[in-house]
Amino acid sequence: MQNSLKFLIIGDISGNLGLAMLEAYLGKLKERYKVDGIIVNGENAGNQGKGITPKIVTFMKNLGVNVITSGNHIWAKREILPYLASNTDLLRPANFPAGCPGVGVTTFDVAGISVGVVNVQGRIFMRELLDCPFKTMDSILTYLKDKTNKIIVDIHAETTSEKIGMGLYLDGRVSAVVGTHTHVQTADERVLPKGTAFITDLGMVGALDCMIGMKKEPILGNMLTQMPHKFEVCTDAPAVLAGVVVEVDKVSGKALDIQRVRIVDEDIKPIRM
């Protein structure tokens, strides 16, 4: 009898090329690592690299994704608002104001075992004026304590310090803390002293030879001239898929292991959504 659960947790999916990578490799990764649950950050999966639609949510769910997290771009597609209001498999950051549609915490079952997923957003260098993510986590853990001790947290934040701070703050209280938003996979994956798996940033799923999923020319133009440029999602291979596999003890909820995952495909083509 297996005494642990494995979770595949994947970073920000960028546009149709990112969705193509998800379609091409999610099943293979599930089989290779024998994962029990899949969590992805989908806030940039829209065809312009921002937002998500109900159609994309359905696409991801059909591939085997259990929960989709998000961040500051969750509101970019207006058609997602009714879905957020009536479903809990797509999260928006829990520290947005209570009047916003959707929830920031949910649970799903793996072979009769309840697993919690929480999404919060950092505040340093982020435009939104949000509640404290640390205090928000305290409140959520009070709610979850009678439901499960297998808990995965996505902190969508700009700075490494805030993400590391969240990992250390929650060490021993959750199974894993993973960072998203900056789209660059970090090499600091580890199990913290009290049993929480941590990585500063999962990385992204999308075009590799660009700037965090977007075409480099407009961004470089902005950097060089300080003039406004319209950013565009990149749809040219090669593409990358990045994330982690976290193994969690079924009884204690403590992390046993965390492994980085990174796949590069030189020839993949974007799908139509």
Q: Rounded distance, CA 104 to CA 136, Å?
A: 10
Longest Cα separation, the chain: 61
Apex 45 CA angle, 22 and 210, nearest 5: 85
The burial of 106, by beta-carbon neighbours within 10 Å (0-12 exposed, 13-18 middle, 19 or more buried), is given as: buried
Alpha-carbon distances, residue 7 vs 125, 178, 233 (angstroms): 30, 12, 28
For residue 134, what are its two tokens?
A: 């640390």
Active site residue 181: no
Q: Which two tokens stand for residue 227?
A: 């003039």
Nearest to 189 by CA among 181, 172, 201: 201
Secondary structure of residue 207 in the 3-state scheme? strand
Task: Report how far residue 180's alpha carbon sits from residue 216's, in angstroms, rounded to the nearest whole number.
Answer: 21
Catalytic residue among 73, 156, 181, 183: 73
Question: Which residues are identified as catalytic?
Answer: 73
